[in-house]
């Protein structure tokens, strides 16, 4: 056992790319477990794109790491000493012990040693595998024969997304940053195609590889890649906004609507066209007529007289000259 606990402390919030000095490696005494506690030696530390988010004070799904605190990180560790009869030395536990060699806890999730090597429980059988599984199946709802596109496709989440989509009978097109990654995904992981976004024109390549359009986008990259994908989606496509790593090091928010907030708040953006509801107009009329008759719904109309005024009246919609529904009265009732 080492005689000190090396830990990474967040010294300042990175601006742009993470730089030397934003975090500092310090040595502290190994913590001593108190009554009911146990000492964990970290075996594996998970490094995730979201670490960059946690270092910032942007809108996010957990409180940011505070300056001066040990950097947060998912871990798998082994119990070294224990003052808790429920936790025995040698047992493996996972948690968020952070970027440090040792930590103490009073409770932790135990991990039964399964048939897979330990790192698998931090990837395909851990958080990134679960992200791929639930994100794709619950939100993406891939159907046999559909086309699924996944960005950061050779990464921890993306590589599993693509393979699950294949198991569901989809055409799977990955987007990754090198020919080697692309070759690997097609040859070893069964992707139908993979686009090297650093080399190819992404729009043209998507057109070529998704001849029937895109039904599911599992979005890990955001930015230009997301833009290109959105241009080629099909009716009722599902966009799983899982991550937008291309923007994590941005110094300024990008122009345009803040999709980050959509992601962090698990909000939904969904296209809507009323013609899809024409078969249900009867339902609407029955309820709305009643509300209007009972005075529960009020309505305004702005009526412009004379068909010759149609064009100038149309402009009222853009100047705000109307209140409520704008109509032209073409002839007397």
DSSP at 254: P
Binding site for ligand NAP (CB under 6 A): 48-50, 128, 131, 151-152, 154-158, 176-178, 181, 220-221, 225, 242-246
Q: Hey, how many other C-beta atoms are within 10 angstroms of the C-beta on 240?
A: 24
d(CA 40, CA 78): 5
Minimum separation from the CB atom of position 262 to ligand NAP (A): 12
Q: Considering beta carbons, is residue 5 or 131 the nearer one to ligand NAP?
A: 131
Q: Which of 79, 216 has the CB closer to ligand NAP?
A: 216
Select 210 or 221, whichever has its Cβ closest to ligand NAP. 221
Q: Six-digit token pair at 133?
A: 């599984």
Any residues with CB less than 8 A from the CB of 134 and at least 6 apart, and which? none
- Quickly tell me which residue has 């937008």 as its tokens: 244
In the block, tokens 């560790």 appear at 77
Closest CB 294 distance from ligand NAP, rounded Å: 45
By the 8 A CB rule, do 77 and 97 touch?
yes
End-to-end CA distance of the chain: 93
Cβ-based nearer residue to ligand NAP, 50 or 147:
50
Contacts of 144 (CB under 8 A, 6+ apart): 168, 169, 170
Closest CB 13 distance from ligand NAP, rounded Å: 18
Nearest distance from residue 93's CB to ligand NAP, in Å?
21
CA geometry: angle 174, 178, 182, nearest 5 deg: 40
If the CB atoms of residues 250 and 283 are measured against ligand NAP, the closer one turns out to be 250
Least CB distance to ligand NAP at residue 130 (A)? 8
What's the closest the beta carbon of residue 241 comes to ligand NAP, in angstroms? 8
Q: How far is the CB of 143 from ligand NAP (least distance, A)?
A: 22
Which single residue brings its beta carbon nearest to ligand NAP? 155
As a whole number of angstroms, the distance between CA 36 and CA 85 comes to 8
Q: Based on CB atoms, which residue is closest to ligand NAP, 70 or 150?
A: 150
Least distance from ligand NAP to the Cβ atom of residue 134, Å: 9
39 vs 195, beta carbon nearer ligand NAP:
195
Measured from the CB atom, the residue of 177 and 213 that comes closer to ligand NAP is 177
């Amino acid at each position: 056992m080492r005689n000190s606990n090396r830990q990474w402390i967040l010294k300042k919030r990175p601006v742009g790319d993470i730089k030397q000095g934003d975090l500092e490696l310090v040595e502290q005494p190994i913590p001593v477990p108190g009554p009911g506690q146990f000492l964990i030696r970290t075996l594996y530390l998970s490094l995730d794109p979201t670490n960059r988010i946690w270092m910032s004070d942007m809108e996010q799904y957990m409180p940011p790491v505070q300056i001066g605190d040990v950097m947060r990180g998912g871990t798998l560790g082994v119990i070294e000493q224990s003052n808790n009869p429920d936790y025995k030395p040698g047992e493996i536990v996972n948690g968020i012990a952070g970027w440090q060699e040792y930590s103490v806890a009073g409770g932790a999730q135990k991990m039964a040693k399964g048939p897979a090597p330990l790192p698998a429980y931090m990837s395909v059988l851990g958080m990134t595998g679960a992200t791929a599984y639930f994100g794709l199946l619950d939100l993406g709802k891939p159907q046999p024969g559909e086309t699924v596109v996944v960005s950061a496709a050779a990464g921890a989440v993306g590589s599993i997304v693509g393979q699950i989509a294949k198991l569901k009978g989809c055409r799977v097109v990955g987007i990754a940053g090198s020919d080697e990654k692309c070759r690997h995904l097609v040859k070893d992981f069964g992707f139908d195609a993979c686009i090297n976004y650093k080399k190819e024109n992404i729009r043209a390549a998507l057109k070529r590889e998704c001849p029937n359009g895109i039904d599911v986008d599992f979005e890990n990259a955001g930015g230009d890649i997301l833009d290109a994908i959105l241009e080629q989606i099909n009716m009722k496509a599902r966009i799983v906004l899982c991550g937008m790593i291309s923007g994590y090091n941005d110094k300024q928010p990008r122009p345009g609507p803040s999709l980050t907030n959509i992601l962090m708040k698990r909000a939904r953006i969904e296209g809507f066209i009323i013609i899809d509801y024409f078969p249900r107009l009867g339902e609407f009329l029955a309820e709305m007529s009643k509300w209007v008759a009972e005075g529960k719904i009020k309505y305004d109309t702005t009526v412009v007289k004379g068909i010759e005024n149609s064009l100038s009246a149309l402009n009222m919609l853009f100047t705000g000259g109307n209140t409520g529904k704008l109509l032209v009265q073409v002839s007397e009732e």
